[in-house]
Structure 1
Amino acid sequence: MILISWNIDSLNAALTSDSDRAKETRKVLQTITANNPDVIAIQETKLRSTGPTKKHQEILGQMFPEYNYVWRSSEEPARKGYAGTMFLYKNTYTPQASYPVIDAPDTMDYEGRILTLEFEKFFVTQVYTPNSGNELKRLEDRQIWDRQYTEYLKKLDAQKPVIASGDYNVAHEEIDLKHPANNHHNAGFTDEERSGFHKLLEAGFTDTFRKVNGKVEGQYTWWAQRVRTSKQNNSGWRIDYYLVSNRIADNIKRSEMIDSGERKDHCPILLEIEI
């Protein structure tokens, strides 16, 4: 089974805009489909609360003719057109979708951040983890989120093996970003966030990239859009992950990044696993 996960930073723009960035995004989508994945997880769709428009549906049907999809958008009292997730899966599968509420703080449970597919013998779930924000204003809420999300994955894992992916908004170790010394007090690399992610792994999950690739350095999934040379200099962060239940970790065949060309922000990640 091949799975791909990507924070797309606006599916709406990718499908309907004629900007240079939208064109770059569509090229990445073409690369994703060329890998013939069984399941595609997309974060930060930024769709309205009612989901894909009729035009979106037409374009998705053209781009992904062999796939069905389910989505989850931000809804009141959360901000409109914010966050959101979507799964596309080959139409030969018939998973059951669920839209978890994890008793998260503030409006986090309404932001469309978790989406889960239940297959006969395993779960596939994705997350768009809340960012701690400028001046770490949301760090305390983020710590609660991390604990609640870990409990959610543990409950899934108690039923059947789990494949979890998404934008976790944290670089786990110093080798997971280019400039660790300069970022210890910045969102995504605080001691609190790193500890939360470590506790998630300790709860019974494997970071598939490290399982396959060991301590390799310089492999990242995100480069700042606002820094002109971030990608040229590979000044990146690895904040997107595929995690699996420990008991299926030996089934992993590949866990890698997909080249997104000159496009900054996130790149897709790919997992191949026998399951």
Structure 2
Amino acid sequence: MKFISWNVNGIRACIKKGFLDYFNEMDADFFCIQETKCQAGQVELQLDGYFQYWNFAEKKGYSGTAIFTKHEPLTIKYGVGDAESEDEGRIITLEYKDFYLVNVYTPNSQRDLARLPKRLKWEENLFHYLKTLDLKKPVIYCGDLNVAHEEVDLKNAKSNIGNSGFTYEERGKMTELLQSGFTDTFRYFNPERTDAYTWWSYMNKVRERNIGWRIDYFIVSNRLIETIKATDIHSHVLGSDHCPILLELSKS
């Protein structure tokens, strides 16, 4: 089974920049996107053979998530019961016989960290949600999680300590999750790899010089580790300030 996750930073803009070419090339079983920045009726994608599940933010041109899948789920859930994840369209969960797929666009704590307290509360709610799901069946958790976990996950670590996305608090929440029975799939197979990033600023030549952050993840319940066939970062794919990431699992 092939999974793709991509923060498209506006699906309508990304379509104009080759989204469908990449989508068709990947032929994924599950294609998760974040930051769709659209409302119902503003975009229509003809994706033959795929079910489409969209979670729109109430605020126009903001946030939003979607999953396109070849496999009809048993259940679909939007949000986790808190107002923010539901109003901002940040979470979709699809349930299947053998696993849950959770697609997430984590809120940014903002440059001045004004949203950090809300972000940490979000992390607590999501942690309990994921752990509750994991008690029932394995979880595949993916998306733009807006945190570089370790210094190896961004180019200029020392100068960014304490900045949004690299605060000790945000990184600590990621550590807590990973120590509770989950695995960062890319880092599991690439423990020492540097210069592997998924987001770059739009500032001049930043992406060309690969001055980036790895803030997009596939995180899975530990008992799925033996089923992982491949994990990758498709940094060559343009169309957004993020690039797509890939996870392949064998069918169990």
TM-score bucket of the superposed structures, by smaller chain: over 0.9
Instruction: Indicate yes or no: 2:22 matched with 1:34.
Output: no
Q: 1:186 aligns with which of 159, 163, 187?
A: 163
Classify 1:29/1:172 alpha carbon distance in 2 versus 1 (closer, same or farther; 3 Å): farther
Instruction: Indicate yes or no: 2:3 matched with 1:3.
Output: yes
CA-CA distance at 1:262 after TM superposition? 5.2
- Equivalent-residue separation in structure 2 for 1:190 and 1:249 (angstroms): 28
Query: Counterpart amino acid of 2:24?
Result: T
SS at match of 2:163: coil
SS at match of 1:266: coil
Instruction: Indicate yes or no: 2:58 matched with 1:81.
Output: no
Instruction: Indicate yes or no: 2:125 matched with 1:148.
Output: yes
Structure 1 vs Structure 2 CA RMSD: 1.6
Unaligned 5+ segments in structure 2 are none
| 8 A Cα contact 1:102 1:152, kept in partner | no
Calculate percent identity across the aligned residue pairs: 44
Classify 1:249/1:266 alpha carbon distance in 2 versus 1 (closer, same or farther; 3 Å): same
Deviates more, 1:170-179 or 1:140-149: 140-149
CA-CA distance at 1:125 after TM superposition? 0.9
Deviation beyond 6 Å, 4+ runs, structure 1: none
Count the aligned residue pairs. Answer: 251
Query: TM-score, length-normalised on structure 2?
Result: 0.94
Instruction: Indicate yes or no: 2:209 matched with 1:233.
Output: yes
Query: Counterpart amino acid of 1:249?
Result: I
| 8 A Cα contact 1:150 1:203, kept in partner | no
CA-CA distance at 1:3 after TM superposition? 0.3
| 8 A Cα contact 2:8 2:240, kept in partner | no
| 8 A Cα contact 1:124 1:162, kept in partner | yes
SS at match of 1:117: strand
Unaligned 5+ segments in structure 1 are 16-21
| 8 A Cα contact 2:80 2:129, kept in partner | no
CA-CA distance at 1:213 after TM superposition? 1.9
- Equivalent-residue separation in structure 2 for 1:182 and 1:143 (angstroms): 22
Instruction: Indicate yes or no: 2:98 matched with 1:98.
Output: no
User: Which residue is equivalent to 1:255?
Assistant: 231
- Equivalent-residue separation in structure 2 for 1:100 and 1:150 (angstroms): 13
CA-CA distance at 1:196 after TM superposition? 0.9
- Equivalent-residue separation in structure 2 for 1:196 and 1:71 (angstroms): 27
CA-CA distance at 1:116 after TM superposition? 0.7
**1:83-120 C-alpha deviation (Å, 9 max, x unpaired):** 00000001x5444211133436xx44310000011111
The higher relative CO (CA closer than 8 Å, separation ≥ 6) is in 2
